[in-house]
């Protein structure tokens, strides 16, 4: 990370990513906006068995929405589903098992979902993972790139026709403020050269993802405040 980017990220972090910045921005939040029912609307959430994804699924379930939880671990997913059903009283919660590192399977999943379900109002790309060492998937793609960037692109691209059938569709993609610390390494997207540093790989991926998504024009959510909202300090 260059000194310039390091300093810029640190200063931006101080002004935008801190508890004080959240409290200041939260003054313009309109609580009433959340007082809405989403009954009859369906939401696909990746990585919905823990953290931000699970909290989002729980909040939407309580407001009556249908949830499609896309998770890689069946036991964890079923456990989270049971908790969401019990706490929200909403039984319209469905689990889909998918490892987002497996590019071909992501495509097949999206295509079969599109055929099986008549509607999808909102796609929330939340899942994210950090690899500790370089690994490739069945297609020879580096797994961090495959799951954090390519899978998101594939889900959006493939599900657009289904999303477009609803009157007010949304795609929300959770990213990271960490993207500011590194330039996009266009010549090394697969991290095939140099020492593999999972943290640094994760910092350039949101940039590549932003560029991929910009091709299909959707905004992204850069995470820093969510931790303050959903997690105790």
Ligand X SMILES: NC(=O)c1ccc[n+]([C@@H]2O[C@H](COP(=O)([O-])OP(=O)(O)OC[C@H]3O[C@@H](n4cnc5c(N)ncnc54)[C@H](OP(=O)(O)O)[C@@H]3O)[C@@H](O)[C@H]2O)c1
Judged by the rule CB under 6 A, the positions of this chain that interact with ligand X are 46-47, 49-53, 71-73, 76, 99-101, 126-129, 147, 174, 176, 223, 227
1 or 39, CB closer to ligand X? Answer: 1
Q: What angle do CA 160, 29, 218 make, to 5 degrees?
A: 20
Distance of closest approach, residue 188 Cβ to ligand X, in angstroms: 20
Q: Could you give the CA distance from residue 37 to residue 35 in angstroms, rounded to a whole number?
A: 7
Are 114 and 162 within 8 A, CB to CB?
A: yes
Nearest CB to ligand X, comparing residues 120 and 174? 174
**Between 49 and 182, whose beta carbon lies closer to ligand X?**
49
The edge-to-edge listing of strands for the beta sheet with 93-97 is 93-97, 66-71, 42-46, 122-125, 170-173
Minimal distance in Å, beta carbon 74 to ligand X?
10
In whole angstroms, the minimum distance from the beta carbon of 14 to ligand X comes to: 16
The rounded distance, in Å, linking the Cα atoms of 167 and 176 is: 29
Residue closer to ligand X by CB (options 41, 72) is: 72
Q: For residues 49 and 88, which CB has a smaller minimum distance to ligand X in the complex? A: 49
Q: Which is nearer to ligand X, 46 or 207 (CB)?
A: 46
Whether 193 and 12 have beta carbons less than 8 Å apart is answered as no
Residue of 105, 84, 108 lying closest to 95 (CA atoms): 84
User: Residue 178, Cβ neighbours under 10 Å: how many?
Assistant: 20
Work out whether the CA dihedral 123, 126, 127, 131 comes out positive or negative: positive
Q: CB of residue 78 vs ligand X: minimum separation in angstroms?
A: 12
Q: Give me the least distance between CB of 118 and ligand X, in Å please.
A: 25
- The structure tokens listed for 149 are 């960037």
Minimal distance, residue 165 CB to ligand X, in Å? 25
How far apart are alpha carbons 137 and 129 in whole angstroms? 14
User: Minimum CB separation from ligand X for residue 131, in Å?
Assistant: 9
Which string of DSSP letters, residue by residue, matches 52-103? Answer: HHHHHHHHHHHTT-EEEEEES-HHHHHHHHHHHHHHH----EEEEE--TT-H
């Amino acid at each position: 990370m260059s000194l310039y980017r390091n300093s810029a990220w640190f200063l931006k972090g101080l002004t935008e990513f801190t508890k004080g910045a959240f409290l200041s921005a939260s003054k313009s939040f309109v609580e009433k906006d959340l007082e809405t029912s989403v009954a009859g609307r369906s939401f696909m959430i990746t990585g919905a068995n823990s953290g931000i994804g699970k909290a989002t699924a729980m909040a939407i379930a309580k407001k009556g929405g249908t949830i499609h939880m896309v998770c890689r671990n069946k036991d964890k997913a079923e456990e989270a589903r049971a908790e969401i059903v019990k706490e929200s009283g909403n039984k319209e919660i469905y689990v889909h098992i998918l490892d987002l590192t497996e590019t071909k399977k992501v495509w097949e999943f999206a295509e079969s979902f599109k055929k099986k379900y008549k509607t999808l109002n909102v796609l929330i790309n939340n899942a994210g993972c950090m690899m500790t060492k370089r690994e490739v998937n069945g297609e020879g793609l580096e797994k961090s790139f495959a799951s954090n960037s390519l899978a998101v692109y594939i889900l959006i691209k493939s599900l657009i026709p289904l999303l477009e059938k609803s009157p007010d569709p949304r795609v929300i993609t959770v990213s990271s403020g960490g993207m500011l610390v590194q330039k996009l390494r266009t010549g090394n997207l697969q991290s095939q050269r140099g020492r593999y540093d999972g943290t640094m790989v994760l910092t350039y991926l949101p940039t590549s993802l932003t560029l991929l998504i910009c091709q299909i024009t959707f905004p992204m959510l850069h995470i820093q405040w969510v931790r303050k909202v959903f997690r105790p300090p």
